Amino acid sequence: MKTLLAALLTLPLLACGPASEPAPTETPAPSEALTEQSSELSSTAPRERSVRLRTGVTLRYVEQGSRNGPAVVFLHGYTDSHHTWDLNLSLFSRDFHIYALDQRGHGDSTRPVCCYTQQSFAADVAAFLDAVGERDAILVGHSMGSFIAQQVALDFPRRVEALVLVGSAPTVAGNEVALFLKSVVDEQVGTVDPVFVREFQSSTFVRPVPASYLDTLVSESLKVPARVWQDTLDGMLAEDHSSRLRHIRVPVLVVGGDQDGFFPVAQQQALVNALPDARYILYSNTGHAPHAELPQTFVRDVSQFLRRVSR
């Protein structure tokens, strides 16, 4: 299994513990320091809720911040849940009205027999905005969530104010790592092998992350049955909307790591080049999950972008 994962992602396995956060390769414009925002932060936990959507699924989500603030919807990656943002949410200003979703088939949301296409996930996001009374929102998506965010912007352009795409590319279609992952996932039956799940999650990081955080990610991925792993990955591989990215006219922040084993820098740059209004921040010595590997730096840079686009 370790040999298999080494071939899959060719990244060093996780070393748990604290990590420093040097400046990104491209230094962004000056922003408010987190210490200067401390008066805006609250120690109260996000509120956990569920909502039934017109698309037929019930989504579990967490909500925090001012109801009068800009709506920001966080979309997790493949087999993850809202817990992928556990190192980030407490750091965001409560001026933002944040929703972090468990998408269909994932976390504690319902797991329908079908459908797991990008269009189905995107329709859920639009239906979610209707259900909670939000006209539009800024979407923050990691990996799979970033492609769903792109799909929402293409299918429901009036519902999207801006995008933050983390660990992303123009498409998953034809991606060699994803195709190899499919060959492994397609062999799973029922509950996915826990050893594989831990190695899969660990291999997405280059920098250390807390052991408790990794344990949570593994537990959340183990909630996802093999059929959802398979159908979701098939949906990502089948959809290629890269030729339509020029139609996304809202401001976009692309955030990546220079050692991303899924989407290397060339693919990240191709995404930036395809978008009419995109800014790119690339973190050095960072893998596929910048939000987890550099949580404070990530929140600082994303907060600056959110404040700029929501004025």
- Length of the chain, in residues: 311
Q: What is the mean pLDDT of residues 65-71?
A: 93
User: Using an 8 Å Cβ cutoff, are 190 and 224 in contact?
Assistant: no
Distance, in Å, from the CA atom of 268 to the CA atom of 270, rounded to the nearest integer, reads 5
Residue 34: C-alpha distances to residues 31, 90, 94, 299, 304 (Å):
9, 11, 13, 9, 11
| 9 has a pLDDT exceeding 60 | no
Produce one character per residue of 228-261: b if its CB has 16 or more CB atoms within 10 Å, e if not: bbbbbbebbbebebbeebeebebbbbbbbbbbbb
Produce one character per residue of 146-162: b if its CB has 16 or more CB atoms within 10 Å, e if not: bbbbbbbbbbbeebbbb
Write down the pLDDT at residue 8: 54
| 244 has a pLDDT exceeding 60 | yes
Q: What is the mean pLDDT of residues 40-54?
A: 73
Q: Give the single-character DSSP code of 92.
A: S
Residue 36 — pLDDT band, cuts 50, 70, 90?
Answer: very low
Distance, in Å, from the CA atom of 86 to the CA atom of 241, rounded to the nearest integer, reads 30
| 35 has a pLDDT exceeding 90 | no
Residue 113: C-alpha distances to residues 27, 151, 170, 186, 233 (Å):
45, 21, 28, 17, 15
Distance, in Å, from the CA atom of 204 to the CA atom of 274, rounded to the nearest integer, reads 25
Q: In what order do the strands lie in the sheet with 97-101?
A: 47-52, 58-64, 97-101, 71-75, 137-142, 160-166, 252-257, 278-283
- Provide φ and ψ at 277, rounded to 5°: -135, 75
Write down the pLDDT at residue 210: 98
Write down the pLDDT at residue 257: 98
- Please name every residue paired with 63 in a beta bridge, in sequence order, or none if there are none: 47, 99
Give the predicted TM-score (pTM) of the model.
0.88
Q: Tell me which residue of 61, 83, 62, 250 sits closest to 150, measured CA to CA.
A: 250
List pLDDT tens digits, range 115-166. 999 999 999 999 999 999 999 999 999 999 999 999 999 999 999 999 999 9
Residue with tokens 């092998």: 193
Residue 19 — pLDDT band, cuts 50, 70, 90?
Answer: very low
